[in-house]
Chains A and B, each alone.
Chain A
Amino acid sequence: MNAAPPVPAAQVIGLTRSFGGPPVLDRLSLSLRRGEFAALLGRSGTGKSTLLRTLAGLDPAPAGSVRVPAARAVVFQEPRLFPWRRVWHNIALGLRFADARSRALAALAEVGLSHRAQAWPLTLSGGEAQRAAVARALVRQPELLLLDEPFGALDALTRLRMQTLLLRLWQNHRPAVLLVTHDVDEALLLADRVLVLENGRIALDRPVTLPRPRHPAHPDHARLREHLLASLGAGQSDREQS
């Protein structure tokens, strides 16, 4: 119930979810604007993934209302390609178009994976496989793109490349993005809004107005980074960030 513009890309009101114990999500409300890139931060176990899965329609929303567009796509932490279908076919699966194949190939070209279209997924490197997963999401022309720690399993250099790629794709297609991450630097590099989830609610909701392309050396950047780290309770020993 934020001051949202006319039609939000996704809206959650009073979402409560518990797995037997105290609620993981406790009357959570959140509205995502169209074309907005939001990063959702939070310590592990705070329900980030549960919120994302609810938005994806994978988890039920027993209490509260969740309004999401039909055109939405998910990229998980693992590529989750069907190993028995060739890469292009993985991208084309579920597309209800006559030209599904050429759309899939175009999406692969956009993520720089044209040369692997005919390959079996298990022969891809980690970065290639995740690019294919991004292409599979992209080809669905989502209004809402849900990313569940999509680059967490990649090495630092590949992660950097993927972040650049994601930024470019977002700027070209302008879906609303919800990026679940535990990496404050990733959030500050990509998002124009940062959310921190704590005790089942959005504890912090900050716009990121830093100019793009982002530079960690920017004084505001460093200040916001410290602020976010503090709100994640990482002032002490266990900084998860790289």
Chain B
Amino acid sequence: MMSTRTATATAFPAPHAQSPARPKNLVRLPRLRRIAAPLLFLAAWQAAVALGLIGARLMPPPSAIAESFWHLAISNQLLPSLLVSLARVTVGLAIGVAAGTALGLVTGLSRLGEDLLDPTLQMLRTLPHLALIPLMILWFGIGEVPKIVLIALGAAFPIYLNLYAAIRGADRKLFEVAATIGLSFPETVAHLILPASLPGFLVGLRQALGVAWITLVVAEQINASAGIGYLIMNAREFLETDIIFVGLCLYAVLGLATDYAVRLLETRLLAWRPSTLGALGRRA
């Protein structure tokens, strides 16, 4: 609905309806509409608690959650927890992505690598990595190592599977072009295989991020002395429901932020795709 309205408003000056010269108030109006529903929900929640429809003890109102968020922030408990959790995900993800990429490249680019590794990896991926927690604790204790290993394991497989499939799914017709214009194998990798598999890799990266956050949540709840999970577990002990909600909000914000980062990466790296071109508004 909104797009029709903006289109008619700008139809006169130019056929490029997506041009950056679009009036500002027309951009803001749809945004306002989008956040209207969450705001209404929060207001209803607040009202329900105030009217006594919901018990404040198990379901604290948004205002109380905001308040305890503020208390935690100024008493310097929030940022350290956030950083600890972020560090776990970052390190685990980095290792997982590196491993998944290396495996995907080896199996994607060489038949030998495929025969040697792919069956084993396809078998391993069916094993839910969270089931390894008891083993991880026995092997690595209860420090940072088992958490990071678990996150890395969870993140590696989506990367591997998507990259491998993307490399193998690259357009055969373009390989014929590469042959007729005399590209060497390294050139074919650089100009054809890697760019062709980048969209698949980024899909894998997004999935890996999702898995990494879930793994973090689970791993942090088992035994932790720092991090968002620790904050939540601690709050449970003392029935501080508001702090549990603060922790949940942090997880949500972190998840959103990283997803946004990948999307930003996509628009940068996949600038050649028509969908991206449309989003950037530059049909050169």
A84 lies within 8 A of chain B by Cβ: yes
* Contact count A vs B, C-beta below 8 Å: 60
B179 lies within 8 A of chain A by Cβ: yes
A-contacting residues, B174-199, CB 8 Å: 174, 176-183, 187, 191-192, 195-196, 198
Type the 1/0 row for B5-30, where 1 means its CB is closer than 8 Å to any CB of A.
00000000000000000000000000
A21 lies within 8 A of chain B by Cβ: no
Contact (Cβ within 8 A) A136 B272: no
Q: Which of B176, B182, B272 contacts A83 (CB 8 A)?
A: B272
Q: Which of B173, B180, B191, B284 contacts A120 (CB 8 A)?
A: B284
The DSSP consensus for interface residues of chain B is helix
Q: How many residues of A contact B (CB 8 A)?
A: 23
Contact (Cβ within 8 A) B284 A123: yes
A76 to B191: give the CA distance in the assembly, Å.
Answer: 19
A78 lies within 8 A of chain B by Cβ: yes
A123 to B177: give the CA distance in the assembly, Å.
Answer: 20
Which A residues are in CB contact (< 8 Å) with B178? 94
Contact (Cβ within 8 A) A78 B195: no
A3 lies within 8 A of chain B by Cβ: no
Type the 1/0 row for B247-284, where 1 means its CB is closer than 8 Å to any CB of A.
00000000000000000000000111110010000011
A164 to B182: give the CA distance in the assembly, Å.
Answer: 28
Smallest beta-carbon distance A89→chain B, Å: 8
Q: Which of B180, B198, B283, B284 contacts A57 (CB 8 A)?
A: B180
Contact (Cβ within 8 A) B187 A94: yes
A122 to B177: give the CA distance in the assembly, Å.
Answer: 17
Residue of B nearest to A80 (CB): B177
Interface size class for chain B? 20 to 34
Say whether, besides A58-B176, A120-B284, A84 and B181 are in contact (CB < 8 Å). no
Type the 1/0 row for B180-221, where 1 means its CB is closer than 8 Å to any CB of A.
111100010001100110100000000000000000000000
Q: Which of A76, A84, A93, A140 contacts B272 (CB 8 A)?
A: A84
Say whether, besides A93-B183, A140-B181, A123 and B195 are in contact (CB < 8 Å). no
Say whether, besides A78-B173, A119-B284, A123-B283, A73 and B180 are in contact (CB < 8 Å). yes
Residue among B174, B187, B192, B272 facing the most chain A CB atoms (10 A cut-off): B272
A120 to B196: give the CA distance in the assembly, Å.
Answer: 15
Smallest beta-carbon distance B177→chain A, Å: 5
